[in-house]
């Protein structure tokens, strides 16, 4: 029996299998206001047979938004929108966490209400493009040059994370995941080449971890720490964030998260085709540093997931793109039913087509 289909307990809840639907931005929120809606509720409920669903990245503030049409989780109207989603998922016996997202420098004035994007440092993500919807002329543009956050502003962003966690709780989410991966704001503090600060938030590993620690401590006042997860991407260079010594940096990050008693660490091993091999010794070092649940995602299939669980460095496995066109993915995997391919043209934006119209096969 593949251990993928055995239950696991997370934050006191028994998850029915070890299959995770990892966060996937689909850019279908209602405008204006970046509101989750009935269509999104249908989409997530269709996929409620996953042991755990993590929502698409949802911005914690206006400045935290990087792409057109992504949902937010900081206004009362947004809470009401997400409540539709969590109710629909719970009705189907699913468990859903919200991925809290601040993109930092991976944005453009068009997506931030005309304000200059912010980061740990005034360093541009060169060659990184973001999607905007300027005067109804959607398209990709170079991410803006950010300005560095002051220490007071950092404290204010930490408070925005706490507020967003509170909104997630009011919206009925079972927990939250902090997006500290893929080159976004927290990652812009962690990675040595994205952070050139000379104060207590830059330089040494202790300093580069300070923002992450403060954000986790803040959201831990809202949710029990075991219902808080953190997503890290140690080796990807996605969105231009690069660390000179990723093994050292990320094992230290995981140690810090272990001290803060977070429920899970979610490693984005590969994203799209940005897929450097993560050595087994690195995975083992992460296992040794963490007592909670470890999730891995990035081009997994049944065989690789089976191996990861049996070797013990993963407790759950994310299947991203396979969930797009296979809403009943767990049953298909269990029964050996061939998987459908998704249409890449309908991933971002639009309506039902390529979103809620993929049929079940079981
Ligand atoms: C359409 C799409 C949107 C994504 N959006 C997010 C996101 O909002 N947050 C995040 O952490 N990762 C995001 N990812 C990365 C996925 O969570 C996952 O790590 C990646 O797709 C690799 O897994 P896979 O090979 O099983 O698809 C996205 C991936 C895809 C395909």
Cα(360)–Cα(49) distance, integer angstroms:
12
Residue 239 beta carbon below 6 angstroms from any ligand 1 atom: no
Q: Whole-prediction pTM value?
A: 0.98
- Best mutation site among 4, 19, 23 for ligand 1 pocket (most ligand atoms within 8 Å of CB): 23
Residue 320 alpha carbon to ligand 1 centre in Å: 6
Residue 100 alpha carbon to ligand 1 centre in Å: 14
Report the nearest-CA residue for atom 22 of ligand 1.
298
Active-site residue list: 184
Report the nearest-CA residue for atom 21 of ligand 1.
320
The answer to whether the Cα torsion of 225, 149, 26, 323 is positive or negative is negative
Residue 229 beta carbon below 6 angstroms from any ligand 1 atom: no
CB 5 within 8 A of CB 17: yes
Question: Which pLDDT tens digits describe the chain residue by residue (362 residues)?
Answer: 799 999 999 999 999 999 999 999 999 999 999 999 999 999 999 999 999 999 999 999 999 999 999 999 999 999 999 999 999 999 999 999 999 999 999 999 999 999 999 999 999 999 999 999 977 678 999 999 999 999 999 999 999 999 999 999 999 999 999 999 999 999 999 999 999 999 999 999 999 999 999 999 999 999 999 999 999 999 988 898 999 999 999 999 999 999 999 999 999 997 777 668 899 999 999 999 999 999 999 999 999 999 999 999 999 999 999 999 999 999 999 999 999 999 999 999 999 999 999 999 99
> For residue 114, what are the CA distances in angstroms to 148, 197, 211?
17, 25, 25
What the chain holds in terms of domains, given with CATH numbers, is 3-322 (3.20.20.70)
């Amino acid at each position: 029996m593949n251990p993928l289909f055995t239950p696991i307990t997370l934050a006191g809840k028994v998850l029915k299998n070890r299959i995770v639907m990892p966060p996937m931005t689909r850019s279908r929120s209602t405008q204006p206001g970046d509101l989750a809606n009935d269509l999104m509720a249908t989409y997530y409920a269709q996929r409620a047979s996953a042991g755990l669903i993590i929502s698409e990245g949802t911005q914690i503030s206006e400045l935290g938004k990087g792409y057109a049409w992504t949902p937010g989780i900081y206004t009362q109207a947004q809470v009401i929108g997400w409540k539709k989603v969590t109710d629909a998922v719970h009705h189907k016996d699913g468990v859903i966490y919200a991925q809290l997202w601040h993109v930092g420098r991976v944005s453009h004035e068009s997506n931030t209400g005309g304000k200059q994007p912010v980061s740990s440092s005034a360093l541009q993500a060169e060659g990184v493009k973001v999607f905007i919807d300027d005067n109804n002329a959607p398209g990709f543009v170079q991410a803006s040059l950010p300005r560095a956050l002051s220490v007071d502003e950092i404290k204010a962003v930490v408070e925005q994370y706490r507020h967003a966690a509170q909104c997630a709780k009011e919206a009925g989410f079972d927990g939250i995941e902090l997006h500290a991966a893929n080159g976004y704001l927290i990652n812009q503090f962690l990675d040595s080449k994205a952070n050139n600060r000379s104060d207590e938030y830059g330089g040494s590993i202790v300093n580069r971890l300070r923002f992450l620690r403060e954000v986790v401590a803040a959201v831990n006042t809202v949710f029990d720490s075991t219902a808080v997860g953190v997503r890290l991407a140690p080796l990807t260079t996605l969105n231009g964030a690069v660390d000179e010594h990723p093994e050292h940096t990320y094992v230290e990050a995981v140690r810090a998260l272990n001290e803060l008693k977070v429920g899970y660490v979610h490693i984005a091993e590969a994203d799209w085709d940005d897929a450097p091999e993560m050595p087994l010794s690195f995975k083992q070092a992460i296992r040794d540093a963490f007592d909670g649940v470890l999730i891995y995602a990035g081009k997994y299939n049944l065989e690789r997931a089976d191996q990861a669980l049996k070797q013990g460095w993963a407790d759950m496995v994310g299947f991203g793109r396979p969930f797009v066109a296979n809403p009943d993915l767990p049953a298909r995997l269990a029964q050996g039913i061939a998987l459908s391919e998704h249409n890449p043209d309908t991933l971002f934006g639009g309506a039902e087509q390529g979103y809620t119209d993929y049929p079940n096969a079981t």
